[in-house]
A and B are shown apart, each in its own frame.
Chain A
Amino acid sequence: MKRLTAACAASLLATTAFAQPDPTDWDSVLEEARGQTVYWNAWGGSTTTNDFIAWVGDRVAEEHGVTLKHVKLTDTADAVARVLAEQQAGTNEGGAIDIIWINGENFASMKRQDLLFGPFAEDLPNWQYVDTEGKTVQTDFTIPTEGYESPWAMAQVVFMYDTADIDAPLPSMNAILEWSKSHPGRFTYPQPPDFLGATFLKQALLDLVEDPAPLMEPATPETFAKVSAPVWDFLEELTPNLWRKGETYPQSGPQQIQLLNDDEIDLAISFSPGEASTAISNFELPDTVRTFVLDKGTLGNASYLAIPYNANAAAGAMVVANFILSPEAQAHGLDPLNLGYGTVLDMDKLSDDQKAAFDAIDLGIATLTPAELGTALPEPHPSWMEMLETEWTARYGVQ
């Protein structure tokens, strides 16, 4: 009987929820959010991210009475597929997913198909702290976000290397190639279409092309063939010198870290400047590991949170997104003991107290300073990543 009443109440709520929560009226959002359960779909393969999400859950429960559940995905695309399937089935409200950790291809795909709730991001109260000038937080892989996703972490490509085996940072992709030739079997990258593997291909593309301008436009078969040619020449030389001669590849970033720790490889790519320090503090890497960036700069982007158009708890989801933009959550995430992700906030917009929390963080022995990281290179248009993945699979994906 209790369940029946609950079901009736839920269906009543669902019909009244037709009036979608309005982020400009934040008080009513908070009121609606109280008591809601928010299902956050995010990749579950990284234990540090899982811990961070659990911490966010504890904090929003305390502050706003929102219950956060982490749905652990093996691939973010699963969540997109789920929303699509719900749209197919006409589940236009009460969907299974309330908030997704997303960027790039998946965002482009959801935005194109009108699967997103919003715009909401720039109406969140904590948006006032976001660094809209200095950081790429309003375009995602060249696609304007238009408030349909809220940034929560900055990422930039760095290379992790074991100083016990490599003396000095390698300044370019060609230097990595030369080093690999003299140290065969000691370098590899995750197998595309894994996200980090595809990132390695993009980084190679950005480092090897003469003129990056065409990369900001959608790729056509002609421009792709012409512009990406140096990448394939590079891989042709690199592959025989890879770990296992390129016969097999690690399947994910964390697996690559395990290989570095097992001393099977000496060099690995990462999309998080603080990841190495975090791994060292968790005993997952030796304390001889350091990081470097390439002389021409490395790729950077933001991770975002988006809310599906049919989310069951859009108000609760916005409360979560807003909390993650708070100085408290951003400082917690920046600390390599917790997560080691870059902040999306502008330090100049914070009060002295808030800033002090950031200054107090020890970035860790393997993390580069913002000055050393330099300015991140922008992501190419998503079509480049798709075509790189397809071409890689055709050339190397099948023996």
Chain B
Amino acid sequence: MTPSLTLVPRLTLAALVLPVGAGLWGVIAPLLGLVQITGADPTEAIDALLAWPGLGPSALLSVTTGVSATLLALSLVVLILSQLHGRPALAWLRRLLSPLLSVPHAAAAFGLAFLIAPSGWVTRVFSPWSTGWDQPPDLLILNDPWGLTLTLGLAIKEAPFLLLMSLAALGQTRADQSILIARALGHSASGAWLKTVFPAIYAQIRLPVYVVLAYSMTAVDVALILGPTRPSTLSVQILRWMSDPDLAYRLQGAAGALVQLALVVGVMALWRAAEQAVATLGKAWITGGSRSSGLDRLRPLARVLGGLSSLGVLLGLAGLVIWSFAGQWRYPDVLPDQMTLRSWQRFAPQLTDPLMETALIALASTGIALILCIGSLEAETRHNLRPTGRAMALLYLPLLIPQIAFLPGLQVLLLQSGLTSGRWVVVLSHLVFVLPYVFLSLSDPWRAWDRRYGTVASALGSSPDGVLFRVRLPMLLAPLLTAAAIGCAVSVGQYLPTLLAGGGRVATITTEAVALSSGGNRRAIGVYAVAQTLAALIPFAIALGLPRLVHRNRRALIPETR
């Protein structure tokens, strides 16, 4: 049979590991003097980094904002799931997940900023009639030096992702039975969930939690909009150094990237240790026999916080949509004086080219990712291979290593090797981030497919390829499309890989939006945010709609309504 198929899993891993490894090498080698960059001396660069007065504060900010955002997001998800398990409120939140996940980070941050700024929407609703503020108060809410707003922004944008991962994990536990038994033993509903379901779920969402941790510690776009400015977080500063005309700063940026990497690795190690401590305490709590009857009183809190955090994203987006149609709109007006199509007429013609580019890159990287994933999974089926734990960890590698730590190195190497950057390099760099999500999303439904269909088809004379193409893939149309939609959404959202691998020449809707956000024109940001959200949402809509159409006479193949 096809021996080449066994190569596919290795090819897949190579597509993930090689760029990350090469990028890290591109950061480390110049610092060790293994690669020369003229005009930049490694020792001087490291000295300059250490001499920068903001190093301590900005490194600390990365840790505090990243860890608190992750803790906050995780606590919120645990609170929601434990309090609202099996309740209508959870079904509501679940329906909001796709839109919440589709709103790009930068747009969500901008929307939130407009909500909570002293001259923002919330103040406007109450001013001046109840607050007496004829002018917006001079309050430090956005860009506060402690990074509280940044933490909040990160947390409400990351919570939906953790909720999605947890819900997926929930499907693989016998949650309802466990809760039923615990309830029969007199435990409160939320106590039962925490004691019997949470430990099983956490084991499955541990890597996603680490992804959130790594992302929150190093996010650039959200930190630019909501984060402190004197100094900013380390990742923002690294990006500034990396784009300074003076090459010496590049090495300083590379040294900063290493500090950032060490911080992330260190914090992950501490998190791991904390997990064990929590596990010990938790076991004592579970075996202690308390029925935690008071816990259920937190239910209103779960509803309020779940609602508020979703509103923070959705109302913010709504604010931006209104801005995109706004004429004159000043404080304290809750709505614009007049609505106009001018911003759309002005910016829409500029949207077409970037949208085409975005679609092309998203489809290409997702297409390659799907082929590699299907090949790997089929190899697994035919040759009875099981991915080792190490291979699974490698799958998460590009998501765990901060982008800001290895992408600049990749850019240096691309240039040094004389490879021209352009669309196809961008596609390959997107593949690194698209592949893990596609694999994670596809592997469970793939493995859950009832192999007896294949046996029947083989008995009827079908070849293994025939089984794959005529039975398995058509039956898995819905999960395949969902995986593709997730892949497209991931590709659409990539900023740094597009910018660095594309040499600035590849303009996608996201690079355009972030470039515009440096100007802060809310109308333009509104137009681009809508376009960006739609670009991420449309694939999900297709993934939901197409199976219904194709399988309209095969009801069992249509995924249940969510």
Q: How far is the CA of A89 from the CA of B413 in the complex (A)?
A: 9
B497-552: which have CB < 8 Å to A?
503-505, 507, 511-512, 514-516, 518-524
- Whether the Cβ atoms of A244 and B140 lie closer than 8 Å is yes
- Whether the Cβ atoms of A72 and B145 lie closer than 8 Å is no
Which of A43, A86, A110 is in CB contact (< 8 Å) with B415?
A86
Which of A71, A74, A109, A252 is in CB contact (< 8 Å) with B514?
A74
Q: How far is the CA of A84 from the CA of B142 in the complex (A)?
A: 36
B241-275: which have CB < 8 Å to A?
242-247, 250
- Whether the Cβ atoms of B230 and A74 lie closer than 8 Å is no
Which of B229, B512, B516 is in CB contact (< 8 Å) with A251?
B229
Which of A41, A81, A248 is in CB contact (< 8 Å) with B228?
A248
Task: Give chain A's interface residues, CB within 8 Å of chain B.
Answer: 39, 41, 43-47, 50-51, 54, 69, 71-75, 77-82, 84-86, 88-91, 94, 96, 105-106, 109-110, 184-185, 191, 243-245, 247-252, 254-255, 257-259, 261-264, 282-284, 286, 394, 396-399
- Whether the Cβ atoms of A249 and B519 lie closer than 8 Å is no
Query: Given A254-B520, A258-B522, A286-B330, A248–B145 Cβ distance below 8 Å?
Result: yes
- Ordered by A's residue number, 16 sampled pairs between the chains whose C-beta atoms are within 8 Å are A39-B505, A50-B350, A72-B512, A74-B518, A75-B243, A84-B245, A89-B417, A89-B418, A96-B421, A191-B230, A249-B229, A252-B520, A258-B521, A283-B340, A397-B231, A398-B57
- Whether the Cβ atoms of A51 and B421 lie closer than 8 Å is no
- Whether the Cβ atoms of A78 and B243 lie closer than 8 Å is yes
CB distance from B34 to the nearest CB of A (A): 15
B307-350: which have CB < 8 Å to A?
326-331, 340, 342, 346-347, 349-350
CB distance from B320 to the nearest CB of A (A): 13
Query: Given A81-B250, A89-B418, A251-B224, A244–B138 Cβ distance below 8 Å?
Result: yes
- Whether the Cβ atoms of A44 and B230 lie closer than 8 Å is no
- Whether the Cβ atoms of B515 and A397 lie closer than 8 Å is no
Complex interface: chain B residues within 8 A of A262 (CB)? 117, 119, 136, 330-331
Which of B145, B418, B505 is in CB contact (< 8 Å) with A96?
B505
- Whether the Cβ atoms of B119 and A263 lie closer than 8 Å is yes
Q: How far is the CA of A78 from the CA of B521 in the complex (A)?
A: 21
Task: Give chain B's interface residues, CB within 8 Å of chain A.
Answer: 37-38, 53-54, 57, 117-119, 135-136, 138, 140, 142-145, 224, 228-231, 240, 242-247, 250, 326-331, 340, 342, 346-347, 349-350, 411-412, 415-418, 420-421, 503-505, 507, 511-512, 514-516, 518-524
Q: How far is the CA of A40 from the CA of B412 in the complex (A)?
A: 22
Q: How far is the CA of A306 from the CA of B254 in the complex (A)?
A: 29
Complex interface: chain A residues within 8 A of B520 (CB)? 45, 250-252, 254-255, 257-258
- Whether the Cβ atoms of B521 and A284 lie closer than 8 Å is yes
- Whether the Cβ atoms of A91 and B522 lie closer than 8 Å is no
Query: Given A81-B244, A398-B231, A251–B518 Cβ distance below 8 Å?
Result: yes
- Whether the Cβ atoms of B244 and A399 lie closer than 8 Å is no
Complex interface: chain A residues within 8 A of B420 (CB)? 94
The 6 closest A-B pairs by CB, nearest first: A45-B519, A185-B138, A44-B515, A80-B245, A255-B520, A262-B119
Complex interface: chain B residues within 8 A of A39 (CB)? 505
Q: How far is the CA of A340 from the CA of B119 in the complex (A)?
A: 28
Q: How far is the CA of A3 from the CA of B97 in the complex (A)?
A: 43
- Whether the Cβ atoms of A247 and B54 lie closer than 8 Å is no
- Whether the Cβ atoms of A85 and B415 lie closer than 8 Å is yes
CB distance from B21 to the nearest CB of A (A): 20
- Whether the Cβ atoms of A88 and B37 lie closer than 8 Å is yes
- Whether the Cβ atoms of B504 and A96 lie closer than 8 Å is yes
Complex interface: chain A residues within 8 A of B524 (CB)? 47
- CB nearest to A41 among chain B residues: B504
- Whether the Cβ atoms of A77 and B245 lie closer than 8 Å is yes
Complex interface: chain A residues within 8 A of B521 (CB)? 46-47, 254, 258, 284
Q: How far is the CA of A132 from the CA of B546 in the complex (A)?
A: 65
- Whether the Cβ atoms of A397 and B519 lie closer than 8 Å is no
Complex interface: chain A residues within 8 A of B415 (CB)? 85-86, 88-89, 91
Q: How far is the CA of A44 from the CA of B420 in the complex (A)?
A: 23
Which of B224, B228, B247, B326 is in CB contact (< 8 Å) with A84?
B247
- Whether the Cβ atoms of B119 and A399 lie closer than 8 Å is no
- The listed residue with most B CB atoms (<10 A of its CB), out of A75, A79, A91, A184, is A75
Q: How far is the CA of A81 from the CA of B327 in the complex (A)?
A: 39
Complex interface: chain A residues within 8 A of B522 (CB)? 258
- CB nearest to A72 among chain B residues: B515
Which of A41, A90, A286, A394 is in CB contact (< 8 Å) with B418?
A90
- Whether the Cβ atoms of A248 and B230 lie closer than 8 Å is yes
- CB nearest to A90 among chain B residues: B418
CB distance from B162 to the nearest CB of A (A): 30
Q: How far is the CA of A185 from the CA of B137 in the complex (A)?
A: 9
Complex interface: chain A residues within 8 A of B143 (CB)? 248
Query: Given A75-B243, A77-B245, A263-B330, A247–B515 Cβ distance below 8 Å?
Result: no
CB distance from B274 to the nearest CB of A (A): 29
- The listed residue with most B CB atoms (<10 A of its CB), out of A71, A185, A245, A257, is A71
Complex interface: chain A residues within 8 A of B229 (CB)? 191, 248-249, 251
Complex interface: chain B residues within 8 A of A243 (CB)? 138
- CB nearest to A83 among chain B residues: B245
Complex interface: chain B residues within 8 A of A96 (CB)? 421, 503-505
Complex interface: chain B residues within 8 A of A85 (CB)? 411-412, 415
CB distance from B498 to the nearest CB of A (A): 12
Q: How far is the CA of A42 from the CA of B247 in the complex (A)?
A: 20
Query: Given A91-B415, A191-B229, A109–B145 Cβ distance below 8 Å?
Result: no
CB distance from B133 to the nearest CB of A (A): 10
Complex interface: chain A residues within 8 A of B144 (CB)? 247-248
CB distance from A365 to the nearest CB of B (A): 14
- CB nearest to A74 among chain B residues: B518
- CB nearest to B340 among chain A residues: A283
CB distance from B457 to the nearest CB of A (A): 39
Complex interface: chain A residues within 8 A of B119 (CB)? 259, 262-264
Q: How far is the CA of A284 from the CA of B329 in the complex (A)?
A: 8
Q: How far is the CA of A284 from the CA of B327 in the complex (A)?
A: 8
Query: Given A77-B243, A263-B119, A283–B326 Cβ distance below 8 Å?
Result: yes
Q: How far is the CA of A46 from the CA of B119 in the complex (A)?
A: 22
Q: How far is the CA of A399 from the CA of B421 in the complex (A)?
A: 40
- Whether the Cβ atoms of A264 and B136 lie closer than 8 Å is yes
Complex interface: chain B residues within 8 A of A90 (CB)? 418
Q: How far is the CA of A210 from the CA of B284 in the complex (A)?
A: 75
- CB nearest to B506 among chain A residues: A71
- CB nearest to B135 among chain A residues: A263
Complex interface: chain B residues within 8 A of A72 (CB)? 507, 511-512, 515-516
Which of B230, B505, B512, B514 is in CB contact (< 8 Å) with A399?
B230
- CB nearest to B504 among chain A residues: A71
Q: How far is the CA of A396 from the CA of B537 in the complex (A)?
A: 43
Q: How far is the CA of A283 from the CA of B343 in the complex (A)?
A: 10
- Whether the Cβ atoms of A263 and B331 lie closer than 8 Å is yes
Complex interface: chain A residues within 8 A of B418 (CB)? 89-91
Q: How far is the CA of A39 from the CA of B247 in the complex (A)?
A: 23
Complex interface: chain A residues within 8 A of B140 (CB)? 244-245, 247-248
Complex interface: chain A residues within 8 A of B230 (CB)? 191, 247-249, 396-399
- CB nearest to B347 among chain A residues: A47
Which of B37, B328, B416, B516 is in CB contact (< 8 Å) with A44?
B516
- The listed residue with most A CB atoms (<10 A of its CB), out of B228, B326, B520, B522, is B520
Which of B38, B329, B346 is in CB contact (< 8 Å) with A47?
B346
CB distance from B220 to the nearest CB of A (A): 11
Complex interface: chain A residues within 8 A of B231 (CB)? 397-399
Query: Given A96-B504, A254-B519, A88–B330 Cβ distance below 8 Å?
Result: no
Complex interface: chain B residues within 8 A of A255 (CB)? 519-520
Query: Given A96-B504, A264-B119, A398-B54, A44–B512 Cβ distance below 8 Å?
Result: yes
- Whether the Cβ atoms of B136 and A263 lie closer than 8 Å is yes
Q: How far is the CA of A85 from the CA of B142 in the complex (A)?
A: 36
- Besides the known contacts A47-B516, A397-B54, A398-B57, 4 further A-B residue pairs in the complex with CB atoms under 8 A apart: A74-B243, A77-B245, A82-B503, A96-B504
- Whether the Cβ atoms of B53 and A47 lie closer than 8 Å is no
Q: How far is the CA of A242 from the CA of B95 in the complex (A)?
A: 45
